Amino acid sequence: MAALDEINTDAHALDRQWALKRERATYETERARRQYDAVEPENRLVARSLESIWEDKLRDAERIEQDYQRWKAEQASTLSTEERARIATFGIDLPRLWETLGNADRKATLRLVIDEVIVDQRRARGMVWIRILWQTGAETEHWLMRRTQSYADAAHAEQIEKRVRELNAQGRMDAQIAAVLNDEGLRNSRGGAFDNGTIHLLRKRWDIPTAKINGVERNPPRWPDGSYSIQGAADMLGVTAQTVFKWLNKGRLHGRQLAKGQPWQIDLVDDEIDPLKAQVRRTTPSRRTTS
């Protein structure tokens, strides 16, 4: 029944718009007549000019009245209680009905209510301004965010950069920043949700450093969960940090990063440490001899 109430409300609003338009035309016509009547008869040039204006206003008023009568004939009258009850029993789901229509039927339906659509993509960065001229003569304006290939052209780019900087300064990881932006209703340049990869690329674009798990402090030999940092693993095994990185790449050591740019957390257990130390002792003398 709420939809039916809206139909009646819209019908009254449109009728009021037509009433104002007709009143304005009548006022303009009467004003032109008074100006013509007030001119001196001997002032023929002015009289002819005012008479022409009066005639134009009369034609405008007549055209508006004809348009109104034509619109009135096309409109359904205000629904009575009985009619509202009958329509309600139909159970028509308009959104669902729209989904079942093909493109041709949708276009035909829109032409019944829309006279013209004006689109402007240059009024605001990353936005599309739309003006709809309805068949009734009413006009409405709308703003839509458009998809862009670059954040340089995206809407709300400054707002997104500001929030990324604020959240990064709070020590949030990329995935956490993405979740906050999504919760706040912000969207990426293509209108989709943010993820940790997008935030990582944006930080690189805007020269925002990675938030470290230990802030600005030097990496400790071991992290609170017992894993080793790069330098901690190097000291434990008696090798250089470069060797630790090499072993991580080859899979001889296992570690993880919470996000790109984050410190490594390397898992070392006693069963691994002793064999690796032994291997280092076996290979180191031979390198010294060959050198």
Residue 14: Cβ-neighbour burial (10 angstroms; 0-12, 13-18, 19+): middle
- pLDDT-derived band of residue 179, with 50, 70 and 90 as boundaries? very high
DSSP H helical ranges for 94-173: 94-100, 103-113, 157-169
Least confident of 14-28, 90-104, 183-197, 245-259: 90-104
Q: 149 — phi, psi (to 5°)?
A: -80, -25
pLDDT at 6 (0 to 100)? 56
What is the tens place of the pLDDT at every residue in 120-176?
A: 888 777 788 888 888 777 888 888 877 776 777 777 888 888 999 998 888 788 888
Asked if 146 and 156 touch (Cβ cutoff 8 Å), the reply is no
What pLDDT score does 87 carry?
53
Question: For 87-109, how does the pLDDT look when each residue is reduced to its tens digit (9 = 90+)?
Answer: 555 555 667 777 887 888 888 77
The pLDDT > 70 percentage for the chain reads 82
Query: CA-based angle 134:78:60, to the nearest 5?
Result: 45
Q: What average pLDDT does the structure give for the chain?
A: 79
Best CA proximity match to 133, nearest among 125, 144, 141: 141
On the question of pLDDT at 5 being above 50, the answer is yes
Q: Quote the longest CA-to-CA distance of the chain.
A: 126
Q: Buried b / exposed e across 166-189, counting CB within 10 Å, b at 16+?
A: ebbeeebbbebbbbbbeeeebbbb
pLDDT band at residue 183 under the 50/70/90 scheme: very high
**CATH number of 230-290, picked from 1.10.1660, 1.10.3470, 1.10.8, 3.30.870:** 1.10.1660
DSSP lists the bridge partners of residue 134 as 114
- Give residue 182's pLDDT band: very low, low, confident or very high (50, 70, 90): very high
Which of the pair, 267 or 122, is modelled with greater confidence? Answer: 267
Domain ranges of the chain: 2-85, 93-145, 157-205, 230-290
